[in-house]
Structure 1
Amino acid sequence: MIRHIVIWTLEDPADAPRFKALLDSCADLVPGMLAFEVGIRAPGLEANADVVLISAFADAAALDAYQRHPAHQAVAAQLGPMRRERRVVDFERA
């Protein structure tokens, strides 16, 4: 299994709900997507970023299919101008 975690800091943190809604539209895009959860920072809880995606894929091929999927690419194009910073960690999990 491959875990795919992405963390964003937005130009305007008030855009977080819209950003999340766009990301949520990518859930269940490809076979082999095992988990997909988007969270936004909560007032009063520690955070140094605005949005996080925690997802899991059966294998690297499923992650690649997700990243190349036209719907994902269209969403990514909309998210790009809204973000200040993006960090990614992909790792294998038994």
Structure 2
Amino acid sequence: MIKHIVMWKLLDATQAPRFKAELDSCKGLVPGMREFEVATRVDGLEANHDVVLYSTFDDAAALEAYIVHPHHKKVSAFLGTLRESRAVLDYQA
């Protein structure tokens, strides 16, 4: 199993709900995607990013299929205009 975790710091944190909605549209895009959870920063809890994606895939091929999927590429391009920075960690579990 491959875990794919991505965190974003936004240019404008008030855009977090929109950012989350766009990301949520990628849920279930490809076979082999097992989990897909998007969360936003919560006031009162520690955070140095505004949005996080936690997802799992059966294998590296399923993750790659997600990354190159046309809908994901379209969403990613749009979200790139809203973010200040992005951090990612993929690992095998």
TM-score with structure 2 setting the length:
0.99
Aligned twin of 1:54: 54
- 1:29: how far off? 0.1
Query: CA deviation digits over 1:8-56, x for unaligned, max 9?
Result: 0000000000000000000000000000000000011111110000000
The root-mean-square deviation of aligned C-alpha atoms, in Å, is: 0.3
Aligned length, in residue pairs? 93
Runs of 4+ aligned structure 1 residues displaced above 3 Å come to none
The aligned amino acid for 2:64 is: D
Aligned twin of 2:9: 9
Unaligned runs of 5+ in 2: none
State percent identity of aligned pairs. 60
Aligned twin of 2:24: 24
TM-score with structure 1 setting the length:
0.98
| C-alpha separation in 1, matches of 2:63 and 2:45 | 30
Aligned partner of residue 61 in structure 1, secondary structure: helix
Aligned twin of 2:83: 83
